[in-house]
Every structure is written in C-alpha cells, then in structure tokens.
Structure 1
Amino acid sequence: MASLQDLIHRFEEGGSGRYLKYGLVFLLVAGLFVRFNFVGYRNLNTQEAMDAAQIARNISEGKGYTTQFIRPLSLHLVKERYMSTHGGVKEPGADIYRIKELPHPDLANPPVYPVVLATMMKVLPMRYEPDGSRPFWSVPYQRSEEATTEMPRRFWRHQPDFMISFFNQILLLVVVLIAFNIARSVFDVNVAWLSALLLICCEYLWRFATSGQSTTLLMLIFMMIAQCLVWIEREEREPHWRSSAQMWLAIALGLLVGLGMLTRYSFGWLIIPVMVYLGIFCVLRRAPILVTVFTLFVLVATPWIVRNWMVSGTPFGTSSYALIEGTPVFPEHTIQRSLNPDTSAVGLRLLSYKFFTNLRRVFQDDIPKLGGSWLPFCFLVGLMLGFRNPALKRLRYFLLGTFVLLILVQVMGRTQLSEDSPDFNSENLLVILVPLVFVFGSGLFFLLLEQMSIRLRPLRYGVIILFSIIISLPMIFALTVAKTAPVTYPPYHPPFINTVSKWMKESELMMSDTPWAVAWYGRRQAVWLTLDAKEEFYAVNDSIKPVRCLFFTPQTIDVKIVSGWVQSGPQSWPSFILEFVSRNILPPRFPLVHAPQPRGYFPSFFVLTDRERWKVEGGKTNRVDLPQTQSTETRPADGKSNTK
C-alpha cells in the first residue's frame, strides 16, 4: 500500500494529479458560489450601487447617459452652465435645469461601470419588477391571509440586483486568475496556489462583489495594470517576445489607466506611480514608452472631461466637490443637497482639518481591516524584507508607492458615503490592492515556512492547511452561520418603493431621502431631499419642477430623538414629519396634503402626495406590500396649517 507521502508526491507530480487539482478547485469555486449566494447574498444597499444600476438601465434602454436620481447640486451646475453660455439671460420657456422636457444628464458617475452594466443588461434577461410569485426570488408569507393575487408570496430577492452581484463575482474570479499568474511569475507556483486559494476564500472581497459597486471592476483593471508592469519589466531584462512588445504593453497601460479613471475618477492618480515605475525600470525605450502611456491616458480621459465641462462647467461634475465634502462647512451630504452652495468659506485650514481627521481614520480602521483577515499584516512585514528576484523587488516598490498614494487620495476624497456604509463603499481605494497584498503575504508565509525546516511533507502540508483555515475563518463563519435575509430593510423595501412610485407618471417628480432607490426600484424621477422643508423645497417646487410626492424611509424617520428631531429646527424635515404625525399640521400653502392611512405608513415609511393617487376605480385602495403588516386604509390630511 502506498504511503501518505507517496500519494502526495503523485498528486504533485503526476498528470492525473494535475486534473484532480483543477477538479478540486472547480468544486471549491462552484460550492462557494452556490453556498455564499444562498446564505450570504443581500440586495443592493448602497447609494453608489443603485445609482450606477439605474444609469446603466437608462443606457440599455436607449435613453443615453441620463439619471432619474436628481441631485440639487447637479441642478445648480446645469443652470449655471446654461446661464454662462447664454450671457446670463434665460430664453422664454427654456428648460435651464434639463429636468422637464429632457432627461437630466448624470454628473456624478464616470461612465465605464454603467456602460459595462448596460451591456450585461442587454445580454441577460432582466426583470425589474419585484417578484412575488416565483421561488428563490420570493418566499411564502408567514400568514396565508397576507397573500394576494398580485403578491402570492413575500418578496425576497431582486432579480436585477442578483444579476449585478453575480456578474461582479465573475469579475472577482478573473482577478484571482490574474493574481495567480503574477504570483507564479514573481514567486513560484506554491505561492500562486496559496494566494489564489486565500483570495477565493476572502469573504471581504465577496462582500464587495455582491455590493454591486464598481470596486471589483476597478480591482480587475488594477490587476491588469500590475500584470502589464510585470511583463514590461521582464521584457527589459529578459526579452521573451518581439522587440515591439514593450510598446504594445505601453499602449495597454495607457488605455487601462484611462479606463480606470473613467471607472472612478480618483483612480486617475495612479498614472503617477505607473509613470515613475516605467521611467526608472524601462531604460532601453524610456522616452517612447512614457510618451505613449501618458498620451493614451489623456486621449481616453479627455472626451469625458470635455463632456462634463460642456454640461456643467466642471471637469468631473458633482464629484468635483468631493474635496470640500465632509469639512465642517459641508458636513454629511449638505453640498450635494444644496441648490446654491457657497464654497468661499472653505480654505486651507478646513482642508487640513479634513486631512488629519480622515488620516487617523484610515490608520485606525481602513488599514487594519484591509482584506478582512490577518494576511495584510504579513504583507506589511514582507515589505521590509530583501528579495533577490528583481521583478519581485520592483513590483514591491510599485505596490508600496501606490499604497502611500492611495492613502492620501482616500483621505482627501472621503465623503459621507464612507459614513453611510463604513465597510463597503466606493471611496475605499485601498481594497483594490488586496490581491497583490495577498500575493506578498503568501510569499512571506512560505519564506517563514522554509525557515522552519519541516522535512516531513505531510506535516508541511498540515501547516499550510492550518494557515489557510485561520486566514479564511471569516468566510467559514459566513458560510456556516444562520442564513442572512437578502432584504435590506431598513431602509430599502423594493415592492413598497415600486408601488408608491407607480402612483406617479413617468414625467412627474418625487422628492425622497433615498432618491437612488426610487430611481432604481421605482423607475421614477426623484430629487434628493432639500436642506429644509421651506425655502429650498419651494425653490424646487415653484421654480424648477412641481413635486408630486414626498417619500421618506427609515433613513430619515429612524434618527436620534434629540439631535435628529428636537434640535434639528422648525424648518427641518424631521420636524415636518413630527408635526404632521403628531398633530396633523402642515406648513402654510404646502402643496402635498394627502397621506395614506395610517399617517402615511408611518413609522415604516412616510408618504405625502398632491392627491389620492393610491385610489383605483370604484374608490378602492391598492394593496401596498409593507415590510411589516399594517392597515392600508386611507384618508386625506385635513390641511391644517400653523398660521398663528
């Protein structure tokens, strides 16, 4: 009978062992896909993901790069651009805000990710209506009397959300394959297999993939850049291809950095470490390579910057204000919700305050959580070691320089989006380094393993397996604990959002504290909640476009009593809701006076409309699927006003 050591040797060296290895990898990946999506999947729950998704749908339906999520700041920029190009004179009947006759152009998102999603939506079958009938997408009601003809089962998963998540998981697998190839090039096959295994079992990356954000695509672009840098450096030392290979790689690098910038604007800063790397390590064709990379980068990015300038008078639309967001003058989402922001008060002192405050957060929270495991600490230690392989040393220099640069960019670009979703947000740039961090961390582990001088091969494999299990514990816990409910309420409940939105015509405007959800799940134009319930609201309603519905979610309703309700001021939206719910009082001449009973679905949601839109023929009321059982009888508000 063959010994255990002989079996391991056959597994490593034999041809059948290679196929067995690939088969085990396939089973592992397939099992992770099925199990994670069954127990760990959640519908989209971030502003960035829903915003990109609704833009992608507009593109796929031939509506151009337009949005139904209307930021007041975007209205301001479009108006200012119109006035500057027309000499400060408004033409009679002109739609200077581009919101009445024409779809509003999106000024917040770079185009690559929405265009990629739009292509996917064209190819794959998408059912945008919340599904309340078919298994997997819905589950039985706990009480049979809750079921209706329209909704025989309870909503559970949103099909387009799931398809977007699945698509990003495929991108994650491609990232792992590139990481495997890089690790095999600069280390060896053992490091390649270990790093690929740990990346596949990294729960942190799977959460980012299922979030629906552009992070996984950006990570893929970064890994392709890293692969091109490894190849172009190798061609400098030991040519493997034709003499023109370096120039083709330079073209690819310029295109990739440009596409990365058009996936997330802050990624454009990566042109600096790329140019430095090429300038130092590509000596034979330094000048043509640098010129080619920078020229292609500029050619890719410039048309979109020109488009933004033509529409808004800014190079990056509303993202141009990210530097001053989060300062004491513009806390939370203040500037995005402002119709006429005054940025003159923001100076060097406030920017310095933002820098040092966020720098502390990065070192206290973001870096320790990088990768969601302990392996990044091995990477940090490995940076201090000396390597003989020149390709490995040079890739380490690039990674270290990029790491420092992205810390600075992330610190200054941090906004309220990072507070709304601290763990998984589009402003986390360091996460794109995780695959290379795992490669270097795995390399350090094997260096330490060699120092242990373990001669027994089974014991050596035992140490590797134990290390892999420890690093993969977050994924193990995620796959074995109780199933996570995919519904992301509070604050999002797609069936309710969809039902209320259908009360409006496609050309009518809603106002909401979560307009990205109304745009994605409800397919209606929704402006972000103005800064107050008086002057700014009437500025939108009277001068821009009439608001037909107010839609509040627990994001506004479920706030702290003292700071959110009592101290927020008489003109704040929490005070507005409190006055209506407790005393049935609305401000004078307020145009929205009708509320479904009880109290506009408060406290689950809060809805006010200009008329009883929920009524159908015969005076009956449409059934509304709330996240918790409530009566759906209706009554109008009495229209009382506090006109003392």
Structure 2
Amino acid sequence: MNQNGSANLATLTLRATFFILLLVMAVLHVTSLFRGLDSAHGMEQAAIAREVARGNGLVTKVLRPASIRQNREATNETGTLADACKNTYHAPLQPLLLGAVFRAQGAQNFEAWRPGKNEYIYQLDRVVAGFSIVCMMLAIGVTYLLVCRIFDARIASTTALLMLFCELFWKMSMSGLPQMLMLLLFTCGCYFAYRAIEASEEGGLPILHALLAAVFFALLCLTHWLAIWIVIGYAVMAALFIKPRGVAGIIALVAVIAAVIVPVLQNIKVSGNPGGTAVLVLFEGLAGSEEYAMRSLETIPLNLRQLAIHVLRLSVMQTKDLYAYFGAIIAAPIFFVALFHPFKRASISHFRWVLLVMWISATLGMALFGLKGGENSPNQLHLLFAPLMGAYGLAMLSVLWSRLEFPKTIPLMSHAHLALVVVISASPFMLRMPFDVLNSLSSGENIAPNYPPYAPSILDSSIVDYADKNEIIASDQPWAVAWYADRRSLWLPIKLSELETIENIADAEETPIVGVLTTPISSGTRPLTETAGFYGEYLSLMLDGWAALATSTSPERRLVSKEDRELKGFYSRYPFPRVLFFRSSPMVLYTSRSPGS
C-alpha cells in the first residue's frame, strides 16, 4: 500500500472511531446516565410540544398569574384562563419541532406513555433528550466543515473532539432546554456568514450566502428570544465586511422581523404587549428574580435607574465565570489572544471580529435578562460561541507552538499541544463517566430521577387519577405537573388573596382548582430564608412536608400549617392534605376532596 493509501486508511479509521465514540456516548446519555429533564423551561416547552402534537397549537398548561393579569387587561376582563394559557413566553421553534417528533411517536396519547410500576424515569423525557443530542451531533458536523474551511482538518478534528467531550453540551442536551438546537442553527448561520465574507473578499457574489445566514439567524431567534441580541451584533458586522456594504446587515434584520412578526402579533392579542409574558424576564436581570413578577396578579414596577451602569457591571461580572460558560473548553478563552494575531487571510481576520461583536452583544443581552443558574441557565448563550472561539484559540496555540524548537526536532511533538488541550478539557468529565455508568448499572431499575425536586412517578400516581382533565392543580412547580401529569397547573400566586381570586375565576369557568401541591423545590433545594421571601404567606405549607417527615414515627403526622391561623380559609377549601414521600423527601398535596371520594 502506498503512502497516500495508508494516510487515507488512517483517516478513515480515526473518523470511524470518532463516530462510534459519539454514538456510544449518545446512547449512554439517554439510557444509563439519564435522570430525566431537570429544567423548568425544558419541561414546559415539552408540554407545549405535546399540545402541538394534539393539534391544539402553541398552548401551555402552566398558568402564570402574570399571564392571567395581562390577558384580562388586554381583553377588558373578558379573557378566560384558557386564553391565558396561549403561549406568550417561550419562542416557538423547539416546541413546533418537538411536536412533530411527538406526533411521529404517538406521544399525544398521554395514557400510552404513563410510567409503569417501579418506573421512575418518564420515557418521553428520553425522546426530548434524544432530539437535543441529534441536534448536537449535527452541530458537531457543521462545525467541523466550517473550521476546515477557516483553518484545516487538524484544528477542525480537535474542535470536534472538544465538543464531543464537553460535559456542558451533554448536560444541556439532557435538560430539555433548546440550547443544542440553537447551537446547530447558530453554527449553520456562522457557516454561511463566513462563506459570504469569503466570497466578498475574493470578489464573488456573497448575497446568496448572506441570505442563507440571515435565514438561520432568524430561526435562531425563533428558538430563543434572547438570540435577537446575537443578530444585532451580526447585522452590524455584516454591514461592514460583506459587500455591497450594508446590504447583508439589512437582510439579516429584515429576516428577523419577518420571522417574529406572527409571534409578536399573537402576543399583542393575548397579553396586550409585543413581548408577552417573556418581557417579565427583565426582572431576572434587573431585579434578581422573575419568579416574583410571574406569580403576582398585580403589576410590579421595575426600577430602571442607572440601567446602563447596571448592565455594564453584570456584563463584566460574566467574565469571571467565562471558563465554565464556555463548557470548560480551555481553548475558547484563548480566542481573545487570537484577536491580536495578524492572520494572513482577510476572511479569517474579519470573521473573528464578527464573532467578537456577536458575543459582546449577546453578553449585554444576558446581563439585561439574567443568568440565574450559571452555566446551566436557560439564558446561557456563551456556549454557542465556545466551539468557534475554541477553533481560533487552537489556531493561536498552533502558531505559538510552531515557534518552539523541540516540536521541529521531535516529529511526535508536532501536534502535542492539540492533544494536551483535549486531555485538559475532557479529563474531569471522562474520568468520572465510567463510575457514573457503573453506579447506574448497579442500580438496575431503581435509577433515581432528578429528585429533589422532580419525581415523575409520584406526580403521575397522585395527580392524574385525582384531578380530571378540566381541573387545575396549583403548585410551586407547575411545569412539572403540566408535563408529567398532563394537567393544567397554576403557579402558586404570591398572596393567598390572589389564589382566592383565581379560584373564583376558575369556578366560574367550570375548571376548578382542586388541589395545591408543595414540593422540595421551595423548601428543599433553596435556603429557608429564600423560601420565606418567595412564599411568605405559604411558609407553613412549605414546611409541612419536613414536619411530617420528622413526626413519621408518631401515631399521627404533624403538619405545621394546621397551627397557622392565617390558613383557616385555605383549609376550609383544601381540608384533606396527603403527604407524598419519595426517597425521604416529602411533598404534600392539599385536596378539596377526601381520598375516598
């Protein structure tokens, strides 16, 4: 066999090994390593997707008090709870695509997918995770093609390995969040943007590529509203680097406007404002939490004093956790060093400035709308930039490495820097994974879900057979009730009086609230001081589960709320509390009907 044949065989062997490893890791992450969805946004988007599969459109079963208020104000108090369930919070693309997948799987039939006996992981969660993993696999492929075009196959292969071994990418895939779909669309948009810049520098016709880039960036905005900030940055730089100057930027902005016009008109119709309920996410960035605003029937003023300074401070603060936001891809932060290197090809040089300005614009957006949850936040956009920034970082390292003497004298050391980057980035994840797999295999069928706070089997067994389809359960985790129990669920309002107001509306519409569910999401996964702040009037209810656990050996379990005089009205409506234990972490379902009725 000649030298070229040996090289081709080696290349094919390495690619086959990569694809096998990718498939093995994908299978592991939807089987033995999977614990179910762990994101509130992911669960609600999945529940919306199920309604899409049923032909009901973009409808959520999560009732936000703020949505009820907005809808009633927009309709002069004539709006119903069903109207308030029309989605004005989530971007529509992932629910629509998932809805098609669910339809193909027959997931619109809730009964067919209910957990079996001793089954703790909801099987539809695996379908959601599988969809995200497929998007991630496609994103790796597109990234490889793009980096090959910018640099070479060596750097592209290393970038693909960094993506494969990025723990954050796998976590996001299993969360239910749309970030992996966003990664695919963002990478496709960047591919055509680079092609447009390249064609512009070579005297070709860049308009077709610029148009395709605009289409993918518009789809990106339909996957997450915060991505509009990325497109603003792209439009500015496209206007500078793609000829004829200004046209590509205008095309991008027009594409986004055309994409969002239908959701905006729907938001105005349902909520009275273009941003819908999603506009209240501003409270996350500027006031520390959107939860209070979402759970209130009253309009809460937002303090916008010193807005510019506040956003600038939060933007700078993101840099201290940038390594984690980039998924621990060590080459990604080196991108900022690569900004000072004079790359020979103008397209490579220009494209890095496009990436930088898009990232700066996205950082400002994340500062404005908040990053609660750190690298796992629903608003996390840094990870979209990690692969391409990492490719530039690898290129910069290669330039520096080539200037050393010993790589020239020792051929085996010529690519050692790339191997070292992969080892450093992947080691924490890959060294822990075998133990996680072994622990999972030893657990057998008793694989633990993400509890606390989410227990799909308990929500199914305690709520589905208790509440009819037209009845409502109020809860501190309504997204989980909506997804795992397929029942409309009210996010527990801030005040007891607001709960009574919504109860009266629900009774008048013959869709009564028949229970209130409290879970460890309020008192088990957050400090009690925070619980007291968010659930002041309900605090004794939030402590009931732990009181029942502490008195479980007594003849009768004690509930703190029964001693709370402020809750006499509540107990007159929900007099039958049921303590639900799952792995020593309690939930309490306060019902309006006795268990035997």
TM-score category, normalised to shorter length:
0.7 to 0.9
Aligned to 1:372, the other structure's residue is in SS state coil
Q: CA deviation digits over 1:309-329, x for unaligned, max 9?
A: 11111112111122234545x
Aligned to 1:235, the other structure's residue is in SS state helix
Q: CA deviation digits over 1:213-237, x for unaligned, max 9?
A: 0111111111111111111112223
In the superposition, the TM-score normalised over structure 1's length comes to: 0.81
Q: After superposing the two structures, state which structure 1 stretch, 517-526 or 203-212, moved more.
A: 203-212
Distance 1:289 1:562, change over 3 A: closer
Return the letter of the residue paired with 1:257: F
CA contact (8 A) 1:39 1:479 kept: no
Structure 1 residue 206, shift from structure 2 partner: 1.4
> Pairwise CA RMSD of aligned residues?
2.9
- Residue equivalent to 1:481: 435
CA contact (8 A) 2:268 2:274 kept: yes
Return the letter of the residue paired with 1:445: L
Structure 1 residue 202, shift from structure 2 partner: 1.4
Aligned to 2:273, the other structure's residue is in SS state coil
Alignment of 1:556-575 (within 5 A): 556-558=522-524, 563=529, 572-575=537-540
CA contact (8 A) 1:592 1:609 kept: yes
Unaligned runs of 5+ in 1: 1-6, 84-89, 134-150, 617-644
State the identity %: 19
Distance 1:355 1:544, change over 3 A: farther
Return the letter of the residue paired with 2:53: S
2:126 to 162, 177, 183: 162
Structure 1 residue 442, shift from structure 2 partner: 1.8
- Residue equivalent to 1:508: 471
Structure 1 residue 288, shift from structure 2 partner: 4.6
- Residue equivalent to 1:145: none
Structure 1 residue 393, shift from structure 2 partner: 0.4
Aligned to 1:157, the other structure's residue is in SS state coil
- Residue equivalent to 2:560: 582
Alignment of 1:221-300 (within 5 A): 221-238=185-202, 243=205, 246-283=206-243, 285-286=244-245, 288-300=247-259
1:176 to 140, 156, 160: 140
1:445 to 397, 415, 428: 397
Alignment of 1:412-561 (within 5 A): 412-414=368-370, 418-419=371-372, 421-453=373-405, 454-455=407-408, 456-482=410-436, 483=439, 487-502=449-464, 503-532=466-495, 534-545=496-507, 546-558=512-524
Return the letter of the residue paired with 2:256: F
- Residue equivalent to 1:400: 356
Distance 1:564 1:197 in 2: 41
Distance 1:69 1:196, change over 3 A: same
Distance 1:342 1:123 in 2: 43
Aligned to 1:551, the other structure's residue is in SS state strand
Distance 1:11 1:508, change over 3 A: farther
Alignment of 1:21-40 (within 5 A): 21-40=14-33
Structure 1 residue 287, shift from structure 2 partner: 5.2
**1:82 aligns to 2:75 (yes or no):** yes
CA contact (8 A) 1:11 1:18 kept: no
Distance 1:288 1:596, change over 3 A: closer
- Residue equivalent to 2:443: none
Distance 1:513 1:260, change over 3 A: same
Return the letter of the residue paired with 2:91: P
Structure 1 residue 522, shift from structure 2 partner: 0.5
**1:605 aligns to 2:587 (yes or no):** yes
Distance 1:19 1:159 in 2: 36
- Residue equivalent to 1:209: 173
- Residue equivalent to 2:85: 104
Distance 2:526 2:253 in 1: 50
Return the letter of the residue paired with 1:383: L
2:95 to 87, 94, 114: 114
Return the letter of the residue paired with 2:540: S
Aligned to 2:454, the other structure's residue is in SS state coil
Aligned to 1:472, the other structure's residue is in SS state helix
- Residue equivalent to 1:596: 578
Aligned to 2:586, the other structure's residue is in SS state coil
1:381 to 337, 349, 353: 337
Distance 1:568 1:319, change over 3 A: closer
Distance 1:371 1:46 in 2: 18
Structure 1 residue 536, shift from structure 2 partner: 1.5
Distance 1:325 1:551 in 2: 25
Distance 2:425 2:245 in 1: 41
In the superposition, the TM-score normalised over structure 2's length comes to: 0.87
Aligned to 2:375, the other structure's residue is in SS state coil
Distance 1:282 1:374 in 2: 31
Q: CA deviation digits over 1:399-422, x for unaligned, max 9?
A: 1111211111110110xxx43x33
Distance 2:14 2:483 in 1: 43
Distance 1:30 1:600 in 2: 33
Structure 1 residue 610, shift from structure 2 partner: 0.5
- Residue equivalent to 1:338: 296
Q: After superposing the two structures, state which structure 1 stretch, 104-113 or 593-602, moved more.
A: 593-602
Distance 1:562 1:269 in 2: 36
Aligned to 1:510, the other structure's residue is in SS state strand
Task: Indicate the structure with greater helix content.
Answer: 2
Q: After superposing the two structures, state which structure 1 stretch, 19-28 or 456-465, moved more.
A: 456-465
Distance 1:62 1:497 in 2: 25
Q: After superposing the two structures, state which structure 1 stretch, 63-72 or 248-257, moved more.
A: 248-257
Distance 2:156 2:580 in 1: 60
Structure 1 residue 461, shift from structure 2 partner: 4.5
Distance 1:104 1:607 in 2: 23
Q: After superposing the two structures, state which structure 1 stretch, 306-315 or 288-297, moved more.
A: 288-297
Structure 1 residue 490, shift from structure 2 partner: 0.2
Q: CA deviation digits over 1:573-610, x for unaligned, max 9?
A: 11245587136346233311112368999961011110
Structure 1 residue 132, shift from structure 2 partner: 5.3
Q: CA deviation digits over 1:344-393, x for unaligned, max 9?
A: x62314x4575356335412224554222322232222222221121110
CA contact (8 A) 1:511 1:529 kept: yes
Greater CA radius of gyration, 1 or 2?
Answer: 1
Distance 1:117 1:570, change over 3 A: closer
Return the letter of the residue paired with 2:217: V
CA contact (8 A) 1:35 1:479 kept: no
Distance 1:494 1:255, change over 3 A: same
Aligned to 2:517, the other structure's residue is in SS state strand
Distance 1:306 1:569 in 2: 33
Distance 1:61 1:562, change over 3 A: closer
**1:306 aligns to 2:270 (yes or no):** no
Q: CA deviation digits over 1:513-538, x for unaligned, max 9?
A: 00000000000000101112x21121
Distance 1:256 1:373, change over 3 A: closer
Distance 1:600 1:39, change over 3 A: closer
Return the letter of the residue paired with 1:469: V
